[in-house]
Each structure stands twice: as C-alpha cells, then as structure tokens.
Amino acid sequence: MRHRTPGIMARIVRASLIIALFAAWPAAADAPPAAGTPAVPAAGTPVVEKLHGVIVETMKEADALGYEGRYQRLEPALRATFDFDFMAEKAVGRHWRKLSEADQTRMRDVFARFTLATYARRFSGYTGERFDTHSEELAPRDTVFVRTQLVRPDGEESIEINYRLHETAAGWRVIDVLLRGTVSELALRRSEYSSVIKRDGFEALMTTLEEKIADLSAETTDTPS
C-alpha cells in the first residue's frame, strides 16, 4: 500500500480528470464548426449534461465506491451517452470491412469495456470540479456540436471539452470528444489502432486492449499519510 500526502493526491485527481476524458475516445475527421454557427434546438445538450451529472456524483463517492462500484455506477450512463458500436468501427478504420462478423462483435465489446474501465479508474476523487455547457451548434454530416468546459477549483485553467453527436434510433449519441476544442480523440485512436493492425494484426490489438483493461481494473488503494 502506497501513502501519499493530501496535496499530492489532489494534483493526481485533477490530472486524472483530464486523462479520463480523453484516454479512451477514438473518429470524426471533420473539423468542429466555427464559433458562431447558428444555434439549434437543444438535441445533444441534455445527453451531455446528464453524463456530466453522473460523473460528478460518482467522483464525490469515488472512495466509498472503489473501482468496481464506479464502473457499475458509470456504465449505464456511458452506454446511454456514447455510440460505442459506431466508434469502434471508425476506430479500426479501413480494416473494419476485412474483419469477420465475429471479430467485429469482439471489437465492439472490447472497445466499450476499455472505455468504461478508463472512466472507472480515472474518476477516483473530487476536489470541487464542475462542468459548464456553453452552446450547441450544427455540425457537418447531420451532427451537432456541444461546447463545454471542465471548470477546476482554486483558479486553475478550465479545460474546453467538446462533444460531437449524431442521431440514432435510440436518440442522440456522442461519437467523438475533442480536447481544447479541436483534438479529435476518435481520430487519434483510429491512427493508433490501424497502425497496430497493419503492423501486428487484429489479434495483437485485442490483446493490447485486454491488457489495458486488466491494468485499469487493478486499482491500488491510496491513503493519506
């Protein structure tokens, strides 16, 4: 068991918040709309704000819940927010059509579990953070773009976190997260996953993701000294 001072723990928590939001998101290559694009009736905003509410409440109870509890608390909200099937396909890119139906199903499952594990592992504390929503705008390819900020305590710089959503039979779902307004996590993952498949094959990608899930679930208990 490792012992860390409260000050160190606070810095780790704040850093983890940022990592959590962006460690798992891979695909829309379109640039975000320019600020000032005409607003649209709120379609994606309620979806994003509901997720943010669950995240903050989970953070507040993070210690009592532990990793497994956080996973179970976050899973329904994340599955109701993200179009994991769409994102898994786009993360694999041009290799998707070459996969068997069984391997496509495996990829969807592993991608979703990896994302869930990342959120459960990283949202491990609370120091007064909140999410603010600023606007919702039309975006290319029948999508909408929701602009938000992660506001941190003690005067630390806020982090711009923007979401792209498309409409599905089940409602509006997130298909990409953009850090600081422009960095597409889906595009980054597509580059990463495609590279692994091209170099080492699809099974190597599955092994890598399963190992990452195992590492994320092996939570170390930290207590103040």
The pLDDT tens digits for 181-217 are: 678 989 999 999 999 999 999 999 999 999 999 999 9
Residue 72 to residue 199: CA distance in whole angstroms: 35
Residue 18 vs residue 63, higher pLDDT: 63
Q: Half-sphere exposure of 199 toward its Cβ, with a 13 Å CA cutoff?
A: 8
pLDDT at 28 over 90: no
Contact 217, 121 (CB under 8 A): yes
Helical ranges in 61-137 per DSSP H: 62-81, 84-92, 101-122
Q: What share of the chain is helix, strand, coil (3-state, %, to 5)?
A: 55, 20, 25
- Chain centre distance of CA 111: 11
Confidence of residue 4 (pLDDT cuts 50, 70, 90): very low
Kindly list the domain boundaries of the chain, sorted by start residue: 2-224
Long-range CB contact pairs, 97-104, < 8 A, 24+ = 99/202, 103/202
Q: What pLDDT score does 21 carry?
A: 43
- What tens digit of pLDDT does each residue of 62-108 get? 999 999 999 999 999 999 999 999 999 999 999 999 999 999 999 99
Confidence of residue 33 (pLDDT cuts 50, 70, 90): low
4 three-state secondary structure: strand
Q: pTM higher than 0.85, yes or no?
A: no
Classified by CATH at the fold level, domain 2-224 comes out as Nuclear Transport Factor 2; Chain: A, (3.10.450)
